[in-house]
Amino acid sequence: MRRYFKYLKEYKWRCIFGTLSKWFEAVLELLVPLVMARIIDVGVANEDTAYVLWGGAVMLAMGAVGFLCALYCQRSASIASQGFGTNVRNALFSHINTLSYRELDKIGSASLVTRTVNDVNQMQSGVAMIIRLVVRAPFIAAGSVILCLLIDWQIGLVVTAAAVIVALVLWMIMRRTVPYYSKNQKKLDRLSQIAGENLEGARVVRAFRSRNKERARFDAAAEDMLDNSLRIGKISAFLNPLTYAIVNFSVALILLWSGFKVNTGVLTNGEIIAVINYMMQILNAMIVISNLVSLFTKAHASMNRVSEVFDLQSSIDEGGNAQCDFSAPAVEMADVCFSYAEKGQNTLRNINLKIPAGATVGIIGGTGSGKSTLINLLPRLYDAGSGSVKVFGHDVREYPVRELRFLFGVVPQNASLFSGTVRSNLFWGNDKATDEQYEEALRVACAYDFVKEKGGLDQAVTEGGRNFSGGQRQRLTIARAVVAHPRILILDDSCSALDFATDAKVRANIAALKDVTTIIVSQRVSSIRGADIIFAMEDGAIAGCGTHEQLYADCSLYREICDSQARAAE
């Protein structure tokens, strides 16, 4: 809990004065029954109208001051809780962006979204309730018990016993429901994951006529969450009835006992009214506390889930302070092995390769051969399990991570665009470039003509770039990488949606770029045929390397790929 105090630091005085104002309102509320008792015992008993009116005016004034205190507390709680939620959410999002792919894969994107949005909202509500009610409700309950003991210690003991029993009921119910609230958040993760998959892949679902199947999968996850929620509801349902039963039984016992005390002159009518009022205040306070128990149980479960993310540390450190030696080979790998799971089978095995600076390199292989995994090691999206990965003369771990990634322009398999405009998407590559430089990058990627037709750099880009075709999205992502002027450009099967003529033109334009080492990952032989060096991969290992002619003559895997694609073309 202490780790979250810093996010409330700038709202410290609002929290303090908001809580004090609510406490002052509670003090006034506790004094009201005493004033009422005096009105009954003095004003009404002596038929003193002036005293009754004076007492009524005092109660009205106390109510007005209490109302103003409550308004101030409400405003302070709203500002502080909203600010707290914003600060935690910003810090969480920033921390997530420091994590490597390994940690992101471990938690999952759906769970991270739920934790950033839903769980932080629960914590935010908890902060608001702490300021507004956590001080007030227990103070009202404890103050009512103490004042009842001062009025009559025997009746006060009944009130104390009732308060203790209600507190035990609250504790028992909270203890039973806490595990279920944690499970509920995990089931919400699953629900978000299924919904996200179906919205993202809506076209695939409809193309394969799987709407009923996916609806059944979503319904099953929703039913699972409903069952868990019903368990919580069934346990929590005992809370209010038990609280009311205990308090009302205590009120009946107090009325019976106090009746004898009034007849014997031990208590006055006003004191009895005050005791009953205090009992009602205890009842209301306990109802508030019971609702707070439910809210804080959710907030506590959410806090633990958010803390799990904060506790995750990136497996990739910040590196050293090495400087590039551009006369050295662009990439060198020596005995590199890698596994996605800590103790799983290696995805890459004993990789040894050297790529000269300025060369054009092709990497080809079947699906699952480790091509994308290999290039992910270069900008340290993952760290190699063993072996050495060098870029321009130094191990990638020796570079500052940010400086290392400035060397690369990566065009991923999935052409990811962000909502905004064409210009805002190119900003990702270089936010200081001029319009002329953006247009030049679009020309290199053969994207200038269709962008100009659609409205130029200020053309809107919808979520995921869905207002562009697959090939257009790929060319826009290539332009985004080119405009950054990288020293190493990685094209990870990024021309698969392009026709052969456009693919060839894009490759020719990229080959004309100066001081750029190009790594092309592809399953098309035609895309990498003219590369200076080609690496053929199979089952996470390099099966052969050389030019197209050398590999066709010496590598059976490469020859088989070439022949199969030639037959397919025929």
DSSP structure class, residue 397: G
Q: Residues 472-531: pLDDT tens digits?
A: 888 898 999 888 888 999 988 877 777 888 888 888 888 888 889 999 998 888 888 888
How far apart are the C-alpha atoms of 195 and 247, rounded to whole Å?
A: 45
How far apart are the C-alpha atoms of 36 and 38, rounded to whole Å?
A: 5
How far apart are the C-alpha atoms of 29 and 278, rounded to whole Å?
A: 10
Q: Which residues pair with 421 in a beta bridge?
A: 460
pLDDT at 570: 44
284-302: burial string, b at 16+ Cβ within 10 Å, e else: bbbbbbbbbbbbbbbbbbb
How far apart are the C-alpha atoms of 355 and 332, rounded to whole Å?
A: 6
Alpha-helix runs per DSSP H in 312-335? none
Parallel, antiparallel, or unpaired for β 386-391 and 420-421? Answer: unpaired
How far apart are the C-alpha atoms of 170 and 295, rounded to whole Å?
A: 13
Please tell me the total number of residues recorded for the chain in this structure: 570
Closest CA to 39 of 281, 282, 269, 280: 269
Q: What is the CATH number of domain 8-311?
A: 1.20.1560.10
Single-letter amino acid code for the residue at 301: A
pLDDT at 568: 47
Rg (CA), the chain: 35
pLDDT at 68: 92
Other CB atoms within 10 Å distance of the CB of residue 197: 16
Single-letter amino acid code for the residue at 561: I
Residues of the chain with pLDDT under 50: 568-570
Residue bearing tokens 């019971």: 290
Q: Which tokens hold the place of 30?
A: 């506790």
Domain boundaries along the sequence of the chain: 8-311, 414-485
pLDDT at 321: 83
Question: At 111, which helix (H) or strand (E)?
Answer: helix 109-114
Q: Residues 35-48: pLDDT tens digits?
A: 888 888 787 777 77
In order, the DSSP letters of 546-561 are: E-HHHHHHH-HHHHHH
pLDDT at 190: 81
CA atoms within 13 A on the CB side of 526: 16
How far apart are the C-alpha atoms of 272 and 259, rounded to whole Å?
A: 9
Residue bearing tokens 């679902």: 205
Contact (Cβ atoms closer than 8 angstroms) between residue 359 and residue 377: no
Contact (Cβ atoms closer than 8 angstroms) between residue 167 and residue 290: no
pLDDT at 90: 92
Q: Which residues pair with 521 in a beta bridge?
A: 363, 492
**What is the spatial order of strands in the sheet that 360-365 belongs to?**
408-411, 488-492, 517-521, 360-365, 533-538, 541-546
Q: Residues 50-85: pLDDT tens digits?
A: 888 888 888 899 889 989 998 998 899 899 999 999
Backbone CA torsion sign across 282, 287, 290, 296: negative
Backbone CA torsion sign across 415, 419, 422, 428: negative
CATH class held by domain 414-485: alpha beta
Classify burial at 431, counting beta carbons within 10 Å of its beta carbon; exposed 0-12, middle 13-18, buried 19 or more: exposed
Contact (Cβ atoms closer than 8 angstroms) between residue 542 and residue 352: yes
